[in-house]
Structure 1
Amino acid sequence: MIDPTCPHHDGSPLYVSHPDPALGDEVTVRLRVPRAYGGVDRVVVRSNPDHEPAWVEAECDGERDGWQWWSARIVVANPRHGYRFHLVRSDATVQILNQGGLSDVDVLDAQDFALVAGNPPPPWMADTVLYQIFPDRFARSDAAADRPLPEWAIPAAWDDPLDPSHPGRSRQLYGGDLDGVVDRLDHLVDLGVNALYHTPIFPAESNHRYDAASFDHVDALLGGDEAYRRLIEAAHARGIRVIGDLTTNHSGVAHEWFRNAYGRPDAAEADFYYFHDAAHTTYETWLDAATLPKFDWNSAELRRRFIEGPDSVVARWLAEPYGIDGWRIDVANMTGRLGAEDLNAVVRQTVRRTMIEVSSDTLLLAESTNDAASDLQGDAWHGGMTYPAFTRGVWSWLAEPRRIPHRGFDGRVSDEMWFFGLPTGMPRYTAQQFVRQLRLFTSQIPWRVQRGTMSALDTHDTARFATYAAEEMIPLAVGLSMTLPGIPVVYAGDEFGLEAVDGEMSRTPLPWDRVGEPEIAARIGLYRELIGLRRAHAALSTGGLRWLHADDDAIVFIRENADEAVLVLAARTDVEIRLDMALVGAATAATSRYAAGTVELLADDGAVRLHGRGASFAVWTLPGVTAPPARAERSVATPEAFAQLGGPAV
Structure 2
Amino acid sequence: MYALAPGTNVGKYPLVTNGYLPTLGRRPIGVFPKGLGSVQRVVKALVRSPRSARESSPPHYSRLFGLQQHTTCRHIRRQRSIGRLVVTSIATPRSDSGTDYVLPESTANDDLDWVRESIVYQIFPDRFSRRPDGMDGDDMHFEEWGSPPSLRGFQGGHLLGVVDKLQYLEELGVNTLYLTPVNTSSANHRYHPTDFMAVDPLLGGEAAMRTLLDAAHSRNMRVIVDGVFNHTGRGHQAFVSLLENGALSPYKDWYNVKGWPIKSYEVPENEVNYDCWWDIPELPELNYADKGVRAHILEVGRHWLEMGCDGWRLDAPFRVPMDFWKEFRSACKEYEGAYLVGEVFGHGPEWCGADCFDGVMNYSFGSLGLGFFGKAELQTDTAIGGDYLINAIGAEEFARGVDAMHRAYAAVEGPHPSFLHLNLFDSHDTARALWMLKGDTCALKLNVLMQMTMPGPPMIYYGDEIGLVGGRDPACRGAFPWHKPESWDMDLLDFYKKATNMRQSYRVLRLGGFQRVPVRPSDGNPSMFDELYAFVRWCSSEEGEEEKAESAQTVAVVVFNTSTQPASVDVSLGQFQVAQNVAVAGKELANVWQGEDGEASEGGLVSETGELRGMTIGARSAAVFVGAWYKKETITSSSFRAGLLFGKSLYRQR
TM above 0.5, yes or no, is yes
Aligned counterpart, 1:595: 594
Contact 1:376 1:449 in 2 (8 A): yes
Residues 112, 520 of structure 1: alpha-carbon distance in 2 compared, 3 angstrom cutoff: closer
- Residue 112 of structure 1 and its aligned partner are, at CA, apart by 12
CA distance in 2 between counterparts of 1:121 and 1:393 reads: 30
1:438 equivalenced with 2:402 (yes/no): yes
CA distance in 2 between counterparts of 1:224 and 1:148 reads: 16
CA distance in 2 between counterparts of 1:238 and 1:619 reads: 29
- Residue 298 of structure 1 and its aligned partner are, at CA, apart by 1.0
- Residue 473 of structure 1 and its aligned partner are, at CA, apart by 1.8
1:538 corresponds, among 507, 516, 524, to: 507
- Residue 475 of structure 1 and its aligned partner are, at CA, apart by 2.2
CA distance in 1 between counterparts of 2:138 and 2:110 reads: 43
Question: Counterpart of 2:624 in structure 1: which amino acid?
Answer: V
CA distance in 2 between counterparts of 1:100 and 1:587 reads: 36
Q: What SS does the corresponding residue of 2:248 show, helix, strand or coil? A: coil
Aligned counterpart, 1:60: none
Structure 1 stretch displaced more, 530-539 or 264-273: 264-273
Deviations 1:369-411 (A, max 9, x none): 23322222442211011312x111111112256698xxxxxxx
- Residue 524 of structure 1 and its aligned partner are, at CA, apart by 1.4
1:462 equivalenced with 2:443 (yes/no): no
Residues 429, 290 of structure 1: alpha-carbon distance in 2 compared, 3 angstrom cutoff: same
2:618 corresponds, among 613, 620, 633, to: 613
Unaligned runs of 5+ in 1: 1-97, 164-168, 337-342, 405-414, 628-650
1:103 equivalenced with 2:97 (yes/no): yes
CA distance in 1 between counterparts of 2:302 and 2:143 reads: 35
- Residue 603 of structure 1 and its aligned partner are, at CA, apart by 3.0
Aligned counterpart, 2:355: 379
Residues 271, 378 of structure 1: alpha-carbon distance in 2 compared, 3 angstrom cutoff: same
- Residue 268 of structure 1 and its aligned partner are, at CA, apart by 2.2
Question: Counterpart of 2:348 in structure 1: which amino acid?
Answer: A
Residues 363, 422 of structure 1: alpha-carbon distance in 2 compared, 3 angstrom cutoff: closer
CA distance in 1 between counterparts of 2:327 and 2:110 reads: 15
Question: Counterpart of 1:238 in structure 2: which amino acid?
Answer: R
1:576 corresponds, among 568, 572, 584, to: 568
CA distance in 1 between counterparts of 2:456 and 2:205 reads: 33
CA distance in 2 between counterparts of 1:576 and 1:531 reads: 27
Question: Counterpart of 2:391 in structure 1: which amino acid?
Answer: P
CA distance in 2 between counterparts of 1:591 and 1:268 reads: 68
Q: What does 1:327-366 align with in structure 2 at a 5 Å threshold?
A: 327-334=312-319, 336=320, 343-344=321-322, 346-357=323-334, 359-366=335-342
| Structure with more of its chain in helix, by fraction | 2
- Corresponding pairs, count: 488
Contact 1:581 1:587 in 2 (8 A): no
2:130 corresponds, among 134, 140, 164, to: 140
Structure 1 stretch displaced more, 496-505 or 199-208: 496-505
Aligned counterpart, 1:219: 200
Considering only aligned residues, what root-mean-square deviation do their CA atoms show, in Å?
Answer: 3.1
Residues 229, 605 of structure 1: alpha-carbon distance in 2 compared, 3 angstrom cutoff: closer
CA distance in 1 between counterparts of 2:135 and 2:146 reads: 15
Aligned counterpart, 2:184: 203
CA distance in 1 between counterparts of 2:461 and 2:621 reads: 23
Question: Counterpart of 1:332 in structure 2: which amino acid?
Answer: P
Question: Counterpart of 2:325 in structure 1: which amino acid?
Answer: R
Q: What SS does the corresponding residue of 1:530 show, helix, strand or coil? A: helix
Contact 1:417 1:501 in 2 (8 A): no
Aligned counterpart, 1:276: 258
Q: What SS does the corresponding residue of 1:591 show, helix, strand or coil? A: strand
CA distance in 2 between counterparts of 1:193 and 1:562 reads: 25
- Residue 113 of structure 1 and its aligned partner are, at CA, apart by 9.0
1:524 corresponds, among 493, 500, 521, to: 493
| Structure with more of its chain in strand, by fraction | 1
2:308 corresponds, among 323, 335, 344, to: 323
Deviations 1:580-622 (A, max 9, x none): 3534625742122112242124436543122223111211212
Q: What SS does the corresponding residue of 1:145 show, helix, strand or coil? A: coil
CA distance in 1 between counterparts of 2:216 and 2:248 reads: 44
Aligned counterpart, 2:471: 501
Q: What SS does the corresponding residue of 2:476 show, helix, strand or coil? A: coil
Deviations 1:153-196 (A, max 9, x none): x7311132223xxxxx1x11110110111111111110111100
CA distance in 2 between counterparts of 1:580 and 1:119 reads: 31
Contact 2:176 2:223 in 1 (8 A): yes
Q: What SS does the corresponding residue of 1:590 show, helix, strand or coil? A: strand
1:302 corresponds, among 278, 293, 297, to: 293
Question: Counterpart of 2:355 in structure 1: which amino acid?
Answer: D
- Residue 215 of structure 1 and its aligned partner are, at CA, apart by 1.2
CA distance in 2 between counterparts of 1:623 and 1:403 reads: 38
Unaligned runs of 5+ in 2: 1-91, 264-272, 520-528, 542-553, 578-583, 633-654
Question: Counterpart of 2:464 in structure 1: which amino acid?
Answer: D
2:386 corresponds, among 413, 421, 431, to: 421
CA distance in 1 between counterparts of 2:246 and 2:344 reads: 33
The TM-score with structure 2 as length reference comes to 0.69
1:192 equivalenced with 2:192 (yes/no): no
Q: What SS does the corresponding residue of 1:594 show, helix, strand or coil? A: coil
Question: Counterpart of 1:235 in structure 2: which amino acid?
Answer: A
1:172 equivalenced with 2:150 (yes/no): no
Q: What SS does the corresponding residue of 1:498 show, helix, strand or coil? A: coil
Deviations 1:261-289 (A, max 9, x none): 34522322111112122545521111121
Aligned counterpart, 2:227: 246
Structure with larger RCO (C-alpha < 8 A, sep 6+): 1
Aligned counterpart, 2:3: none
Q: What does 1:392-403 align with in structure 2 at a 5 Å threshold?
A: 392-400=367-375
Q: What SS does the corresponding residue of 1:277 show, helix, strand or coil? A: coil
Contact 1:463 1:503 in 2 (8 A): yes
Q: What SS does the corresponding residue of 1:144 show, helix, strand or coil? A: coil
Contact 1:367 1:385 in 2 (8 A): yes
CA distance in 2 between counterparts of 1:495 and 1:622 reads: 29
Residues 432, 366 of structure 1: alpha-carbon distance in 2 compared, 3 angstrom cutoff: same
Aligned counterpart, 1:15: none
Question: Counterpart of 2:144 in structure 1: which amino acid?
Answer: A
Residues 544, 100 of structure 1: alpha-carbon distance in 2 compared, 3 angstrom cutoff: farther
Aligned counterpart, 1:286: 277
CA distance in 1 between counterparts of 2:210 and 2:202 reads: 15
CA distance in 2 between counterparts of 1:403 and 1:542 reads: 31
Contact 2:246 2:260 in 1 (8 A): no
Aligned counterpart, 1:237: 218
Residues 504, 608 of structure 1: alpha-carbon distance in 2 compared, 3 angstrom cutoff: same
